[in-house]
Every structure is written in structure tokens, then in C-alpha cells.
Amino acid sequence: MPRSPAQTPVRVIRSTTDFARHVGLARTTVSRVLNGQPGLKQKTIDRVHRAIAETGFTPNAYALHLKGKRTATVGICVETLMTPPAVLKLATLQRLLREADYTSLIEVLAPDGSQRVVRHFLSMRVEAVVFIGHFAEAEIAQRIEELKRHGIAHLVIDHAGIPGANTVALDRRRAMVETIAHLVGLGHRSFGLLGLSSPLRSAQDRRAGVADGLAAAGLSLAHDTLSLDHLHPRHQDFAFGRALAASFLAQAHPPTALVALNDEIAIGAINGLQQAGHRVPEHFSVSGFNNQDLGRMTVPTLTTVDQQIERTVEAAAAILLAQIGRPPRGRPIVRSVQPLLVVRESTGPARA
């Protein structure tokens, strides 16, 4: 009994040789069509593309570099995919690269895993490597030197200060200067710092910005701020912020303004204050960082810093694409993106 069409097994074509046999053309002719070479009849080109549509055949991209062709591929190393800003940066960069006809290879870096990942990218003949996030500076500096030796373009998004690195990063220090100026303008003279004791450069840059902002107002980091980060492990940011709020409330003279490392910690702190019967901003002002959508849904809505992600990644993509195929620069490109302070309902005049 003959098989019905639904029962007929579909043959999977895995090589250009098999595909050429299926189409009924010489392999060299098919290769010329796939590579866009001139001098072919239009009916031959149409025949090959029609067969591709029918069979779903995909040429072996890994073989391109063996023939000395461009791979049009960019390797992307990300610190994490656990935060909305990180995902948005990655998605925006991938979209911009795709619009420029580049494919992305994406790896989440484990600690001490950058050498393995970069070597893998090099074996795939990527044309550039991007690092998104905050990494061990000495380790990434070594990877960048390795990329330079191979003539591969590179860029670091977010992590400023890595020696020799082409970098596009938000000016986090300026962001905190503006945040403190806003709070000082509301009459605040005592500040609780939530999560800013982290050893990461991104946190330390913000702490330095707090110091700059306080100094501009005749105040000081040592005398007019309080950090209680050491009292609580930071496993989950909402819970961390809530626990810190309780610890600040236990102080004899709690600060009137709480400045958080990110929006999650800030929202956790607001929740902790409200559960204890306090009102925000009447009793305490609270500010966050990252301008996540959740901050517009809280009661009160959250004052925060917008990272200008679209602008940052657009600048990064333009710098990266301009480097591809060119000799490494003698001096690195370092671009600083200005932040945007978004004032909402969670900050107000200091209590008497």
C-alpha cells in the first residue's frame, strides 16, 4: 500500500553537495548562487532560491571563514540576564546589529570564564566582541589586549575605567550629584545609603557622586550619611531594601532621605517604611536608580535615575561598527552618557 504524503519522510539536506544534487545543478553553480557571485542566469538563481524555500536548506555559516569570507558576526558577553536593564541593553544592541546585517553570539560570563568565551568567539571568527555589564577589570583588560592582538574590534558597555578599553558608559557619578542636589534642595541634610557599599565600580562611582553632591552643599559623606548594608545579606533586593528600612527606623535619629542603589531596593524600603506606619515622602524621601516601569506603579511613584539605555546602546553600536575591519586605535574611545533624573512622588520636603 503506497504511503500518503503525510507519511512520506522528509529528507533533511545537510550539505551543499546534497542540495546541489537535489536541485540538479553542479555544486560550484549552487555555491556561486549562495555567495552572490555575478555571471549567472536569472533562471538559475531563481531555481536555487525556490529550492531553498521548498527544502529549508541553510548554507553552513561555519564554513565561511575557512574560505576567507566575512562572518558578519559579533560576540556579546553579558554579566547577567537577571535584571531588566541588562536585558534591555542586550535586546537593543542585538536589534541595532541585526539592522546592520550582523548576527550575534551571546554568552553570559561566569566568574573567570571570559578567556574561554573569548577564545571560542575567536575560533568562530567573530568580527567584534562586546562586553555588557560590570566585570573583574584586570580579567577583561587581558581579554581586550588579546582581541587587539587578533585585530578584532571591541567595546565595553557600562563598565568605565578598564585600561585600554573602548567604552560607552552612563555617568553614574553625575547621576548621584543631581540626586543629592535635588534632595538638598528639598531641605534634606541627612541621608541613608542603601546598597552603595558594594565593591563594584558602578556602586563606588555612585558613592563618589554622593560625596561630590554633599560637598557642593557644604556637607560630607562621613558626617551626613549612614550605611547599614553590613547588617543584612543582599540575597533579594526587595527584601534587602525592606530590611534596611527597618534598621534605619531603629536608629535614634534616622536620616530623612534614603538613596538606593537601584529601584528594587528603593521600593523594598518604601514598603518597609509603610508597613511600619510611615508615609513617603512626608516622613522619608526615597530615591532609586534605573527608572524601571515598576517605579511608575508604586504608591507613591518613585523618583529615580534613567540610564538612557537607548542613547547609550546607539552610541555603542555606532562606535563598534565604525571599528570593524579597521586597525585597532592607539588610544581607546571613551564616551560618557549623561543621566536623566526623573522626579516623581517619593521625594518631598524634609520633615521638621
Instruction: Report CA 4 to chain centroid distance, whole Å.
Output: 51
Mean pLDDT of 342-347: 98
Mark whether 140 and 209 lie in a shared domain.
no
Cell numbers given for 130: 562586546
Check if the beta carbon of residue 349 is closer than 8 Å to that of residue 187: yes
Mark whether 256 and 282 lie in a shared domain.
yes
User: Letter for the amino acid at 121?
Assistant: F
Mark whether 24 and 88 lie in a shared domain.
no
Residue 344: predicted pLDDT: 98
Q: Got the DSSP string for 291-336?
A: --GGGGTSSSPPBEEE--HHHHHHHHHHHHHHHTTSPPPSS--EEE
Q: How confident is the model at residue 61 (pLDDT cuts 50, 70, 90)?
A: low
Q: Spell 163-198 as b/e; 16+ CB within 10 A means b.
A: eebbbbbbbbbbbbbbbbbbbbebebeebbbbbbee
Mark whether 281 and 180 lie in a shared domain.
yes
Check if the beta carbon of residue 261 is closer than 8 Å to that of residue 229: no
Q: How confident is the model at residue 174 (pLDDT cuts 50, 70, 90)?
A: very high
Mark whether 184 and 281 lie in a shared domain.
yes
Q: Between 99 and 33, name the one with better pLDDT.
A: 99
* CATH number, domain containing residue 293: 3.40.50.2300
Least confident span in 62-71, 138-147, 150-159: 62-71
Give the integer Cα–Cα distance in Å for 177 and 17.
64
Mark whether 238 and 198 lie in a shared domain.
yes
Is 351 a member of any domain?
no
In a 13 Å sphere around the CA of 37, the CA atoms on its Cβ side amount to: 11
Report helix, strand or coil for 73.
Answer: strand
Whether the per-residue pLDDT at 194 is higher than 60: the answer is yes
Length of the chain, please?
Answer: 352
Q: Is the peptide bond between 300 and the residue preceding it cis, with omega within 30 degrees of 0? A: yes
Mark whether 194 and 290 lie in a shared domain.
yes
Is 283 a member of any domain?
yes
Give the mean pLDDT of the chain.
91
In the chain, the number of structural domains is: 3
State if pTM tops 0.95. no
Q: Between 19 and 219, name the one with better pLDDT.
A: 219
Is 348 a member of any domain?
no
Residue 92: CB atoms within 10 Å: 18
Strand partners, 73: 103
Domain around 43: 16-59
Instruction: Please state at what angle helix 16-23 crosses helix 42-55, rounded to 10 degrees.
Output: 110
Whether the per-residue pLDDT at 333 is higher than 70: the answer is yes
Residue 27: predicted pLDDT: 83
